[in-house]
Structure 1
Amino acid sequence: MAKFLNTSATNFFLEELIKNAKERLILISPYLRLNDRIKELLEDKNRLKIDIRIVYGKSDLHPDEIKWMQKLDYVRLSFCKNLHAKCYMNESECIISSLNLYEFSQVNNNEMGILIRKYEDDEVFKDAYEESQRIIRISDELRISLDEVKTAQVQVEEKNDEDADNLSKLTSSKLAAKHKLKTADLLDKFVEKGFLTLNDNGKHLLTEQGKAIGGEFRTSQYGGYFLWSESLEI
């Protein structure tokens, strides 16, 4: 019988689902940003040669995610246009939930989901598995060159840094480098401090508090970026 999951239960059973995978693991989530705990679990499954399929639906995949996945021989990544489903399953359990992978362990969000076990609800589990396979079939498996991704990222950062220099402010990447941090870690710190927030799509937005300390959001043909005072304390 299906089990209802609240926010904390969804996080707990998702971690257990990944840990308990013996043959296969399917992770379907529109927004893909893996935290260290998820990466640790997937690295362990990769060492055990478990077949892992990850399907996401938004094209703004961070180069760091691609770089990490390219090191894992048993992880296959696919892109599915117009994906909105969130489904996570191994050979015996399935979670259908509002939880995106980037929200894992963010207990401040209000999530709901259901846990389906094959031995309890075989027909429902089978239907979920078949639909997951259909999504995988219509998805494009990625063969991305990391060098191409790095080149594009550097070009964007260099252009944005050039624009920032003209305004006597630093982009997030330059401010992060100044403090010997990764850009993603800097953005996480600014979320904690209340300078930025994440919307439902996983995008960073400048808050009123961020504006008050001099933060700005700019757009160019290369995309959006944040500007910060060089003297801003981290």
Structure 2
Amino acid sequence: MKIKNTVSFTLASVLAAGALAACSSGSTTTGGNTSGAAATTGGGAKTINLWLAGKEDTPKELTDWLAKTWTTKYPGSTLKITHIDWPELTTRLNTALQSDTPPDVVEVGNTQAAAYTSVGAFTDLTSKMSELGADIGPKSFIESGKWDGKNYAVPYYWGSRYIFYSKKAFKDAGVAVPTTLADFNKAAVTLKQKQAGNSKYSGFWVPGQDWRNGISWLFANGGDIATQEGASGSASCPRPTASRA
């Protein structure tokens, strides 16, 4: 499979990411897209193609601001923004990477990034990290965009997890509201134990489809969903090492 190495990375700051994506490819594609180096110097086709995942994940107010700011910062060039639904992203990106017109910058999910960074589909940004800034995002997010010690993807946005709890349940069980992860784990166990006669009761309940929140807790407590075995890179999927509270 032939892969066009013009797709850059998961976005950190859309504007900064676009600028670095532009500068990092350094060559013109055969399909008419050029690198941002051409766009900023006034040579070649002056369009940077940016793919954003989700129809509404990035608000219109932001994309409007981004397009305007890009034009102001790089006169004569155009930032073309395309929104792609998450279910379509992988298929369309795989197809585009084999064409002469891949996107210059693309937003992908954390769990998708490794599939592209590991095969050389994204541009090496290691030398550009200082330009993006040390506060580009949480360390763990930056690490997730690395492959073989090099930076290929950087954070676009991130968020916090919120927990809703029953004040009555905590009061009835005599449990104080936790302020640390360790306290939370103990509280969940205690709440479960106080309801020993109720097999359907859980001290920490996560909706069935909301696996992202559950897996964050799993990793934070030293659990894994897969481990590498041997030099071949084969993976096994053990049972989670952190049990349900």
TM-score, reference length from structure 1 = 0.29
Rg larger in 1 or in 2?
Answer: 2
Structure with the largest fraction of strand: 1
